[in-house]
Amino acid sequence: MGQVTTKQVMNTFDLELISGEEGIGRHIPISDISRPGLEMAGYFTHYPANRVQLLGKTELSFFAMLTAKERSERMMKLCTDDTPAIIVSHGVPVPEELIAASSNRHVPVMTTPMSTTRFSSLLTNFLESKLAPTTAIHGVLVDIYGIGVLITGKSGVGKSETALELVKKGHRLVADDCVEIHQEGENTLVGSAPKLIEHMLEIRGVGIIDIMTLFGASAVRTFKRISLVIDLEIWDQEKTYDRLGLEEEKMKIIDTELTKLTIPVRPGRNLSVIIEVAAMNYRLKRMGVNAAEEFSKRLNDVIAQDTN
């Protein structure tokens, strides 16, 4: 799980800090955002204090109708030790009671000229991306015909060499050796490269090469959603490999299951072409065209005719 501080949010969205500067380093533990309308009315029984609090025109117009004592009490309750930040939208002036309470409790108060709905959407997307569950996998991620293909396998099996050939064919490299994977939503895994090795590819006997410098900016991508896993393994004579494609193997990464194909490697096999076809076939299956099922149906029809 990643970490986000209030200061990162302030810098990302160019927010103006009004008060509570001492708490600018507070961590935001959850991507949910709270609009404390009920709290403005005095109901704090289920107050989600650990969320970013977003005040818009509706909350503040009601707040202005309260008595001076009620305004002070409500703002003191709104500013807790767990509250990461309070943000006022539409560029509305911050109430004096909120400034006093935030200074007392060291809760950062910031403003944005954006509308409440627009800012809430942008901030939620930003926090979900930063706070998404994360893992790292040894492999290569390539964008093939718009399909994010994660190539895995033991060290030395030929993952990077295959990726290089795919790049030469016009496909795009996302990450080599280490793929950082974020689960940004239900059944949505996004892979990227660590900044240290971004755009780099290691070829044994040649060394580290910069794909963007050699092949241009169109040969690389910063990130890509992962749809298919292809595991390369040395050909095992004792093992039976799937020849029809009727059985679909799965690989679970974080909380998402991905389609996995096992491709045996031996001299003479053109892995880049096989992986290209696998990506195209995966896309066709998602469009409802399954060659293996069609073949099985034809075979069953022939057997039925012969039986009759």
Q: Which two tokens stand for residue 164?
A: 């290089």
User: Can you give the pLDDT at residue 7?
Assistant: 95
Which amino acid, one-letter code, is at 270?
N
Q: Which two tokens stand for residue 141?
A: 């991620």
Percentages helix, strand, coil for the chain (3-state, rounded to 5) are: 35, 30, 35
In this structure, the number of other CB atoms found within 10 A of the CB of residue 200 comes to: 19
Q: Give the fold, CATH level 3, of 6-130.
A: 3.40.1390
14: alpha, beta or left? (left if phi > 0; alpha if psi -120 to 50): left
Beta strands in 139-210 (DSSP E): 140-144, 147-153, 172-175, 178-185, 188-192, 200-203, 207-210
- Which CA distances in Å does 140 have to 32, 99, 148, 159, 164? 33, 51, 10, 7, 10
Query: Is 91 among the annotated ligand-binding positions?
Result: no
Pick the residue with more confidence: 298 or 180? 180
Q: Give the fold, CATH level 3, of 134-296.
A: Rossmann fold (3.40.50)
User: Can you give the pLDDT at residue 245?
Assistant: 72
> What distance in Å separates the CA atoms of residue 119 and residue 114, rounded to the nearest whole number?
6
Across 71-75, 188-192, 209-213, 268-272, least confident range: 268-272
For the cut 90, the answer to whether the pLDDT of residue 128 exceeds it is no
pTM of whole model > 0.75?
Answer: no
> What distance in Å separates the CA atoms of residue 127 and residue 2, rounded to the nearest whole number?
10
Name which of 50, 29, 21, 34 is nearest 110 in CA terms: 21
pLDDT one-digit tens code per residue, 42-64:
999 999 999 999 999 999 999 99
Query: Is 158 among the annotated ligand-binding positions?
Result: yes
Alpha helices, DSSP H only, in 141-270?
159-168, 211-215
Query: Is 4 among the annotated ligand-binding positions?
Result: no
pLDDT one-digit tens code per residue, 54-105:
999 999 999 999 999 999 999 999 999 999 999 999 999 999 999 999 999 9
For the cut 70, the answer to whether the pLDDT of residue 40 exceeds it is yes
Query: Is 155 among the annotated ligand-binding positions?
Result: yes
User: Can you give the pLDDT at residue 144?
Assistant: 96
Domain residue ranges of the chain, discontinuous segments joined by +: 6-130, 134-296
> What distance in Å separates the CA atoms of residue 116 and residue 59, rounded to the nearest whole number?
11
Across 73-82, 83-92, 129-138, 174-183, least confident range: 129-138
pLDDT one-digit tens code per residue, 205-251:
899 999 999 999 999 999 999 999 999 999 888 887 777 777 788 99
Residue 1's pLDDT band, with cuts at 50, 70 and 90, is low
The backbone torsions φ and ψ at residue 119, rounded to the nearest 5 degrees and listed phi first, read -65, -40
Beta strands in the chain (DSSP E): 16-19, 33-34, 52-55, 86-88, 109-111, 134-138, 140-144, 147-153, 172-175, 178-185, 188-192, 200-203, 207-210, 223-225, 228-234, 249-253, 256-265
Query: Is 156 among the annotated ligand-binding positions?
Result: yes
Residues labelled as active-site residues: 138, 159, 177, 243
The backbone torsions φ and ψ at residue 208, rounded to the nearest 5 degrees and listed phi first, read -85, 130
Give me the chain's average pLDDT, please.
91
